[in-house]
Structure 1
Amino acid sequence: METDFDIVVIGSGPGGYTAAIRAAQLGYKTAIIEKYHTLGGTCTNVGCIPAKALLDSTEHYHQALSKFQLHGIQLSELHINFTQLINRKEQVVKQNTSGLDYLMKKNNIQVVRGVASFQSNKQVKVTGENNSETTLSSKYFIIATGSKPATIRGVALDKKRIISSTEALSLKTKPDSIIIIGGGVIGVEMASIYARIGVAVTIIEYMDSLIPSMDRELGKELKKILAKTGVTILLTHKVQSVVNNGNHVVVNYLDTTDTPYETRADYCLVAVGRNPYTKGLGLENTQIELDEKGRIKTDKQLRTAEENIYAIGDVINGPMLAHKAEEDAVFVAETINGQKPHLNYLLVPNVVYTWPEVASVGYTEEELKKDNIAYRVGKFPFQASGRARAAMDTEGFVKVLSEPKYGELLGVHIIGPRAADLIAQPVTGMHYEITDEDMFRMSYAHPTYAEAIKEACLIASGQGSINI
């Protein structure tokens, strides 16, 4: 095994494997360290990819149950094979991790299995199976160790009935009921998965809105949509404790008047965010510092207090998103290479893979109001979209926020069919600083969901709308 490298990446999630690949492409002798048996980190193994596989599977079932008959498709004896549901998810994960193994070999990246710990700013010790130890030396290091599920006071994860999203994605049997603490991205996605297949789902959220970090109109609309699928949503409620009683859990919580309540369910899923993972990294053997939230401090080049050590992704400040970690990764590899790349976190889109999907980029209306920034609003409902009506996907809207004088796009917020894909066009527009008028004067294919963006931009510009 080689032990001397130009760049060593610690962690093989989206940030880690992207950093390693870009570094290798730029001609650096590269290694990547991963403590688990498979590459891909949380996103590939127990996060983004398996969640989307289950979201797609359960949405197919929901469509068959609720809409196929209206399309003229008759089914009989429709039922869920929960074991196959999970098995397909596992196959999707396996395909992705196998793809990463191939990319490592293709790019001549050495994969080192084990837990990395800095001995100095020039060396890391890797402890593998049976406590075997290997020391790697490198000119540069990139820390990409990601994050782990967080919890709240009074609630301890036991991974049996009080679970995180990791366990919720791999249950052996379909539960009858589940309580989800947290109405953020993970909470609403997991609620969608289980509510669609007939599980009684309750979301308990401390804030006064679902997906509270996004534009509030999105959370308001999503609440209506999830309620239609049978999800019970309790906003401005505070969980006090969760107890595993063997075959069920008991959740105690308070409302705004501090009135206590008690609810039982088969499982309690804790989805209150994630914490950066730096445990066991040996940072005390370096000059690297953590901030008040446990994140690694970096400068604008994502360099730590050690000039040759960089950090990316969930372990530093910024949105905890796989694609943000990938952007960090390329930025750092190219910075080490002497290039002058650019990062703008404001233009990193945020997506929720419920159905309809939710996607957002730029400023929210609340942020613009808080900062006293003038803006115009253009809002177009999918109910008025010919393509959406043809597909029976008419819930939601496109909301465009633009600057009044010149029409520069300030933010675009979508809840509706294929929002995750549609948001790419506003991201492109904002990246090149084009205006609301530029956006609506381009030709859009008809009929398409994207025409809703055109109409919202037309309205934002103050020139009315053309109903499609």
Structure 2
Amino acid sequence: MKYDIIVIGSGPGGYIAAVRASQLGKKVAIIEKYSTLGGTCLNVGCIPSKALLDSSHHYYDAVHHFEEHGISVENPKFDFSKMVERKAKVVEQTTGGVKFLMDKNDIDVYEGLGSFEDATHVKITKNDGSSEVIEGTNIIIATGSKPSTLPFISIDKERIITSTEALKLKEVPKHLIVIGGGVIGLELGSVYKRLGADVSVVEYAPTITPTMDKDVSKELTKVLKKQGVKFNVSHGVTGVERKGDEVVVTATNKKGEEVTFTGDYCLVAVGRKAYTNGLGLENAGVKVTERGQIDVNDHLQTNVSNIYAIGDVVRGAMLAHKAEEEGVVVAEYLAGEKPHIDYNLIPGIIYTWPEVAAVGKTEQELKDANVDYKAGKFSMRALGRSRASGDIDGFVKVLADKNTDEVLGVHMVGARVADLIMEMAVAMEFRASAEDIARICHGHPTYSEAVKEAAKAAWDGKPLNA
């Protein structure tokens, strides 16, 4: 069978690329080695983690906040198996939605491992050992990523686990040791902390979320500490050993002293790496970088002119929404259109509570680039909406060019900032100034008023409610 476009991998990047290509009149096939579509994000990443985050957040509110709202619940209890069951249903509905989209858009779905025979032929090896070969004028690689580990850590998937196993535990840990203070470690650590686990985060860098704005890292540390999470920054892990139902983690602190942590589970959350196993890239002549990522140009085209790659398997942030945009860009480019993507305006989000969101440059990046900037900051505590809901932690910070007033970066910690950040992504796409944002009427009372106030603080230094 011959296709205009073959997509290998059905995660957010792959399935969106397939849908958009079909919408633009292309004959499309998609290959997925697992029995369900959706990739890491829908099956063992974004969607199931958010389901558990929401369930655990409801329980945490019942225990800690209902009473102040005048709601009495005697000894709130949770059924962890039901939480996991609900998570599975959400995943099933979401992956089923992707299958519906494939059918709706007349995309042929092949289940099996896709590997290159040459630059235009892909062999699909099925679980029963049988295989078939299909041909594609163009091929898009969207095989995503897998959790990384450290060379001396042996992941046993029982007590020493990755995010995949952390989403399907049979019990709430007594003491969860999290190696890595980034997005994945903090989100999953929050889930189990809310449900009663002791959680210790061990991070090599001097702060958690080391790639984010320093004010964000500082505020999130303060808030999560208040919730009971213990942080051990500037700690380099040197060993992880399982002893029966216990896991012992050894690390060296900034003074050079050895420190030991003992728990019943250890989550290794030190990032992710591009996944190209079994693809047979060498058969097509596709080049990879020293980091194992597929090398692409500005059009996401590999060194082999008819083969493209998107998402976690190429350079850049490993984010589902980044992969989706790249999928659209490649599909439209192959259809003769002229799409664009601004990597500076891809938002980063952490779904703890309060949430964290950012777009554009951090203050440190502007300093390093010698950009003359100004900053405006507004506390969520000063908002009527925040006081009404009890979500008073956090802030919005707007960074703008000191000479032109153009917004260069926005950083938020607070309730629903995962949604609020898109206002600023849109504004920055159209090169708005801080004054532009400050002069737009925002609904009252809303969390979004913090954005307006921070923008005014950046523009003229005079927020109205602070």
- Normalising by the smaller structure, the TM-score range is over 0.9
What is the match of residue 346 of structure 2?
Answer: 348
What is the match of residue 287 of structure 2?
Answer: 289
Matches within 5 A, 1:332-411: 332-411=330-409
Q: CA deviation at 1:463?
A: 4.3
Letter in 2 for 1:244: R
What is the match of residue 72 of structure 1?
Answer: 70
What is the match of residue 17 of structure 1?
Answer: 15
CA–CA separation in structure 1 for the residues paired with 2:347 and 2:123: 37
Q: CA deviation at 1:246?
A: 2.0
CA–CA separation in structure 2 for the residues paired with 1:236 and 1:271: 16
What is the match of residue 152 of structure 1?
Answer: 150
Query: 325, 341, 357: which is aligned to 1:327?
Result: 325
What is the match of residue 98 of structure 2?
Answer: 100
What is the match of residue 165 of structure 2?
Answer: 167
Letter in 2 for 1:21: V
Q: CA deviation at 1:231?
A: 0.8
Residue 465 in structure 1 maps to residue 463 in structure 2: yes
CA–CA separation in structure 1 for the residues paired with 2:128 and 2:451: 56
Query: What are the superposed Cα offsets for residues 244-285 of structure 1, whole Å, 9 maximum, x if unpaired?
Result: 112111111110122112211110000000000011111111
What is the match of residue 50 of structure 2?
Answer: 52
Structure 1 range deviating more: 355-364 or 251-260: 251-260
What is the match of residue 136 of structure 1?
Answer: 134
Letter in 2 for 1:34: E
Equivalent position SS for 1:125 = strand
Letter in 2 for 1:123: H
Q: CA deviation at 1:72?
A: 0.2
Q: CA deviation at 1:465?
A: 1.0
CA–CA separation in structure 2 for the residues paired with 1:317 and 1:8: 21
CA–CA separation in structure 1 for the residues paired with 2:226 and 2:463: 29
Residue 424 in structure 1 maps to residue 430 in structure 2: no
CA–CA separation in structure 2 for the residues paired with 1:60 and 1:272: 28
What is the match of residue 257 of structure 1?
Answer: 255
What is the match of residue 241 of structure 2?
Answer: 243
Letter in 2 for 1:343: I
CA–CA separation in structure 1 for the residues paired with 2:173 and 2:457: 46
What is the match of residue 206 of structure 1?
Answer: 204
Query: What are the superposed Cα offsets for residues 52-96 of structure 1, whole Å, 9 maximum, x if unpaired?
Result: 000111111111111100000000131121111111111110110
Residue 451 in structure 1 maps to residue 410 in structure 2: no
Cα RMSD, aligned residues only: 0.8
Q: CA deviation at 1:153?
A: 2.6
| TM-score of the aligned structures, taking structure 2 as reference length | 0.99
What is the match of residue 123 of structure 1?
Answer: 121
Q: CA deviation at 1:375?
A: 0.5
Letter in 1 for 2:76: L
Query: What are the superposed Cα offsets for residues 220-256 of structure 1, whole Å, 9 maximum, x if unpaired?
Result: 1101111111111000001111111121111111101
Equivalent position SS for 1:31 = strand
Aligned length: 466
Residue 271 in structure 1 maps to residue 269 in structure 2: yes
| Identity %, equivalent residues | 50
Task: In structure 2, list runs of 5 or more residues that go unmatched.
Answer: none
Letter in 1 for 2:224: L
What is the match of residue 303 of structure 2?
Answer: 305
Q: Is the 8 A contact 2:172 2:196 kept in 1?
A: no
CA–CA separation in structure 1 for the residues paired with 2:457 and 2:141: 45
Letter in 1 for 2:173: P
Task: In structure 1, list runs of 5 or more residues that go unmatched.
Answer: none
What is the match of residue 214 of structure 2?
Answer: 216
CA–CA separation in structure 1 for the residues paired with 2:340 and 2:53: 34
Query: What are the superposed Cα offsets for residues 325-381 of structure 1, whole Å, 9 maximum, x if unpaired?
Result: 000000000000111101111000000000000000000001001111110000000
CA–CA separation in structure 1 for the residues paired with 2:421 and 2:47: 19
CA–CA separation in structure 1 for the residues paired with 2:243 and 2:95: 37
CA–CA separation in structure 2 for the residues paired with 1:361 and 1:175: 34
CA–CA separation in structure 2 for the residues paired with 1:286 and 1:162: 37
Structure 1 range deviating more: 223-232 or 138-147: 223-232
Letter in 2 for 1:233: F
CA–CA separation in structure 2 for the residues paired with 1:358 and 1:166: 22
Letter in 1 for 2:19: I
State the 4+ residue runs in structure 1 displaced beyond 4 angstroms. Answer: none
CA–CA separation in structure 1 for the residues paired with 2:375 and 2:133: 57
CA–CA separation in structure 2 for the residues paired with 1:16 and 1:122: 18
What is the match of residue 87 of structure 1?
Answer: 85
Query: 230, 233, 247: which is aligned to 2:231?
Result: 233
